[in-house]
């Protein structure tokens, strides 16, 4: 598995794609948070708070994660190297986990530089360092689990077709439905309890819960379950492919 992981990470940083993804994430967040006028702008917001980062990041990653994962198995199938990987003395599960961890690692690298924003926000407050560190840590924690779920979805989408664009589009659609789809569906129900139940089936409610600084085991179990579910679908999909 570690060999697959190293191979994936090396492939990202020996081509422009890795640097492009990291740079694009930081650029978009930087522009919306510090440059563009609007609701997301920290200066227009009026409070020394990074909450807007965690409103933006899940939506940006809906597009960036499928862009990272679209080649995971699609490219292998297209160039004919997937068959070689499947006949090697490595289990399919290790192959799937290696691809998953490699893509997740790149996403985490993209998020790490945003810690600079924490120090910037700390300096901007009327009282230096006056921000809720619990909410900040919880938000980063929730973002990591959300990205892990997105990554598992993207890896699964890459097994559906040997066309990377198709895998990219399918990944975006599933990630969007998982994050916001259940919220939209819940509005169709007049009953408040039913709305809450439907919302709890989506990722947004669980991400918001963790981002509020409350680490509930139900939220963690949700994200771990979603990740394992799509990794299992990836495993089953690879088992069905001809060798």
pLDDT tens digits, residue range 42-88? 766 666 667 778 888 999 999 999 999 998 898 888 887 777 777 77
Is the pLDDT at 4 greater than 60, yes or no?
yes
What is the reported pTM?
Answer: 0.91
**pLDDT at residue 29, rounded to an integer:** 86
**pLDDT at residue 177, rounded to an integer:** 95
What residues does each domain of the chain span? 1-240
> Mind listing the pLDDT tens digit for each residue in 144-198?
999 999 999 999 999 998 899 999 999 999 999 999 999 888 888 888 788 888 9
3-state secondary structure the chain: CHHHHHHHHHHHHCCHHHHHHHHHHHHHHHHHHHHCCCCCCHHHHCCCCCHHHHHHHHHHHHHHHHHHHCCCCHHHHHHCCHHHHHHCCCCHHHHHHHHHHHHHHHHHHHHHHHHHHHHHHHHHCCCCCCCCHHHHHHHHHHHHHHHHHHHHHHHHHCCCCCCHHHHHHHHHHHHHHHHHHHHHHHCCCCCHHHHHHHHCCCHHHHHHHHHCCCCCHHHHHHHHHHHHHHHHHHHHHHHHCCC
The larger pLDDT score, comparing residue 126 to residue 231, is at 231
């Amino acid at each position: 598995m570690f060999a697959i992981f190293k191979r994936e990470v090396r492939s990202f940083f020996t081509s422009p794609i890795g640097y492009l993804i990291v740079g694009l994430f930081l650029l978009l967040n930087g522009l919306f948070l510090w440059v563009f006028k609007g609701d997301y702008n920290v200066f227009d917001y009026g409070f020394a708070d990074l909450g807007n980062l965690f409103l933006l990041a899940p939506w940006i990653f809906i597009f960036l994660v499928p862009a990272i994962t679209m080649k995971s198995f699609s490219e292998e199938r297209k160039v004919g190297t997937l068959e070689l990987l499947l006949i090697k003395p490595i289990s399919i599960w290790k192959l799937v986990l290696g691809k998953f961890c490699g893509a997740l690692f790149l996403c985490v690298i993209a998020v790490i530089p945003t810690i600079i924003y924490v120090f910037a926000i700390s300096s901007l407050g009327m009282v230096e360092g006056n921000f809720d560190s619990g909410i900040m840590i919880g938000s980063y924690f929730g973002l990591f689990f959300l990205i892990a779920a997105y990554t598992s979805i993207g890896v699964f989408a890459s097994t559906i077709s040997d066309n990377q664009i198709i895998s990219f589009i399918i990944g975006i659609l599933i990630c969007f439905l998982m994050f916001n789809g259940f919220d939209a569906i819940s509005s169709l129900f007049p009953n408040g309890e039913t709305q809450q139940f439907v919302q709890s089936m989506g990722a947004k409610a669980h991400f918001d819960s963790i981002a509020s600084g409350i680490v509930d085991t139900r939220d963690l179990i949700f994200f771990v379950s979603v990740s394992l579910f799509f990794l299992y679908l990836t495993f089953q999909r690879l088992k069905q492919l001809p060798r």
